[in-house]
Every structure is written in structure tokens, then in C-alpha cells.
Amino acid sequence: MNLTHGFLLMGYACCIIIGVLISVAYLTTAERKILGWMQGRRGPNSVGFGGMLQPLADGIKFIYKECIIPTHANTILFRLAPLMVVVPGWLMWAIVPIAPGVVFADIPLGILWILAMGGLASLGILCAGWASHSVYALLGGMRAVSQMIAYGVGLSLSLMSVVIVSGSMNLSAIVASQSGGIWHWWVWPLLPVCCVFWIASIAETHRNPFDVVEGESELVAGYHVEYSGMGFALFFIAEYGAMYLSALWMSLLFFGGWHSPFSNIIFLDAVTSWIPGSVWLLMKVVFWVFVYIWVRASLPRYRYDQIMYVGWRVLVPVALLWIPIVSFFMVCLGELS
């Protein structure tokens, strides 16, 4: 590892961090505009051309706000908690491959990294809820953590199916195993597992319809009710970054990653082969992020016991059941012709 290589890596890391920050900022505006349009109104459209400078205004607002720490709050934990939530989220970006061979850290256990970082984030939320010394925050934190654990199990099991069919935990390898055409994508043999993964992702990021954590009508803002200014902004960044990451996992693990849906189709392949893989990945990620917002605009919130029921008694059995099914088809019927 020479110095040039080190500087290249640092540059790549800076690009990732800055890119994530800007994307997250614009995602907040995109969400507000899309939610608005779906609700029969227009979103923010005064700041900048059509509302495009709204993230700048929001950012300035966050920086100006005073970071109030409640009197009896555990100061160290209170200040640390947003970092504990945000840093694992950003660390997950390290393994994201955007093109064949272009990845910051091509570790052989990418799936394990995803699950580990997700688990760390729930610890941060627990700290935030507990350190705020507020009943609303504590309840919100407890709900969040139990929800994340429940759906984390479903997530892990669905990822196991992906690992089984693709034969590797390395994300680049999983994407490479989906080459050769849209019928090779893992969504088709793993259709229920893909649904489980998607629903579990929505629940892991506390998005509607699983957002009792921040159910405004009940808990005001859940575990981040006592946070203001940049502390709150960090939680926001963590949540929206996790949205992007979930969309990325969907695209990479189930929908072919950077492979074109038209590859190996007679006429369309020639017509669209000039589009680079990263663009296909980008389009898929944009689509799934749009689905995140679309679902938020459409569905009412699940009750807390319904969330627990769905997590443990629907998603986990489906994901668990699919592992032997897919293994059977792959191993026993694999040699059929």
C-alpha cells in the first residue's frame, strides 16, 4: 500500500461522505415535494428555483439553532448518541460497489458488515432515548430498538437466502452473479424474500408505515424529541442515509445492481448498451427511494403490536421457510435441463 493508493482512498472516502451529505439534504426536499404532490398540494417551491435551495435553508436553520441539553440528561451519552447512530450508517457506505471493481472496501463479508452496522445503530437510538431523561424519548427509544431487533432478524434471514443463491457474501460477487439478463436477477427466485427484505428495510429505518417511533401524534418525536440543531440534523442524516442504503441493497442484491435490465435481449441490448452500469444502479436506487416516499404518502401507520406481529410472525417465518425451499431448488433440481 503506497502513498498514492492511500490518497486515492482518502479522496474516494471524501467523495462518498460529501456525496452522501448532499444527497441526504436533497432527499429531504424531494420527499417534501413528492409527498406534497401526492397529497394534492405542491411541496416547498419558494426557496430557489422550484424549491431547489430548500436544503440550504434547512441546513442554515439547523446550524443556527441552539443545541439544548435537558437539565438532568446524561450529557456524555446525549452528545454521543447521534454519533453512534450516524457513524455506523456512514460506515456501511464503505462497502457499496457502484461499478464492477469500483468499491471503497471490497471485503469478503459484505453482508455481515451490513447486519453489524445496522445493529450498532440501534444501540445509538437506545442511548438517545435513555440519555434524554424524558418519558417520550425513552418510550420512543424502547419502541425503536425492539422494532429494529424484530425486523433485523427478518432482514438477516432474507439476506441468508441471497447468500445461498449467490454463493458469496461479497457484494461485488453477488452483483456479478446476477449477470446475463434480467431473468438472472435474484428477485425472481427470491420473490417473497425480496418482499420481506423491503418491508424489513422500511421498518429498520422507522419509515411510515412503521414509524410509531416518531409517531408525531403520540410521541411527538420519539427518541429525538429533546434534540435540536445539529444533533437532530445528525439523526435526520442517519435516517435518510439509511434510506439510500436500503434502496442500494435492494438494487444490488435483488435487482441486478449495475446490470442493465436489457442485457442479452436481442434488440434492446444493442440500443442501450452505451448506458454505463452506474447509471442503471442510480436509476434503480432512485426508484426504490421513490417507493420509500410513495409508501409514506399512501399508508396509515401500523399500531405497535401490529408491527411486532408482522415482524416476528409473518416476516421471520417467510424468510426462514424460503431458505430450505431455495436450497432444495438450487441443489436438488439444479441439474435439470
Partner 1 sequence: MWDVCDEDVDILCGLHDMKNNGLMLLSCLNIVIVCCMACSRSPAVRRWLLVDIFTALKHTYVQMWAYKNTVEYPQQHTPRSPHFRGLLALRRYESGEERCIACRLCEVTCPAVAITIESTVENEKRVATRFDIDAFKCIHCGLCQEACPVDAIVLTQQEHVVYDTRGDNILTKEVLLGFGDVYAPHQAACESEI
Q: Which residues bind partner 1 (CB under 8 A)?
A: 34, 37-42, 100-103, 106, 165-168, 170, 172-173, 176-177, 179-180, 183-184, 188-189, 191-192, 195, 294-295, 297-299, 325-326, 329-337
Question: Least separation, in Å, of the C-beta of 55 and partner 1?
Answer: 21
- Min dist. Cβ of residue 145 to partner 1 (A): 26
8 A C-beta contact, residue 94 and residue 10: no
| In the complex, minimum distance from the CB of residue 91 to partner 1, in angstroms, rounded to a whole number | 18
CA-to-CA distance for 57 and 49, rounded, in angstroms? 13
3 state SS of 143: helix
Closest C-alpha to 262, from 274, 276, 272: 272
Task: Determine the Cα–Cα distance for residues 245 and 96; give it in Å rounded to an integer.
Answer: 9
Output the CA angle 213-289-10, nearest 5 degrees.
Answer: 95
CB-count burial class (<10 Å; 0-12, 13-18, 19+) for 22: exposed
Q: How far is the CB of 223 from partner 1 (least distance, A)?
A: 27
CB of 259 to partner 1, least distance (A): 9
Cell digits for 239? Answer: 435516517
Choose between 75 and 298: whose C-beta lies nearer to partner 1. Answer: 298
We find the least distance from the C-beta atom of residue 112 to partner 1, in angstroms, to be 16
DSSP-assigned letters across all residues of 169-183: S-HHHHHHTT-SSGG
Does residue 234 contact residue 82 with C-beta atoms inside 8 Å? yes
**Smaller CB distance to partner 1: residue 68 or 188?**
188
Do residues 200 and 315 make contact, with C-beta atoms less than 8 angstroms apart? yes
Q: From the CB of 298, what's the least distance to partner 1, in Å?
A: 4
Torsion-angle region of 97 (φ positive above 0: left; ψ -120 to 50: alpha; else: beta): beta
Residue with cell 436553520: 61
Residue 198 and residue 19: Cα distance in Å, rounded? 24
**Among residues 4 and 217, whose Cβ is nearest to partner 1?**
4
CA distance 87 to 244: 15
Q: Which is nearer to partner 1, 235 or 292 (CB)?
A: 292
The distance of closest approach from Cβ of residue 41 to partner 1 in the complex, given in angstroms and rounded to an integer, is 5
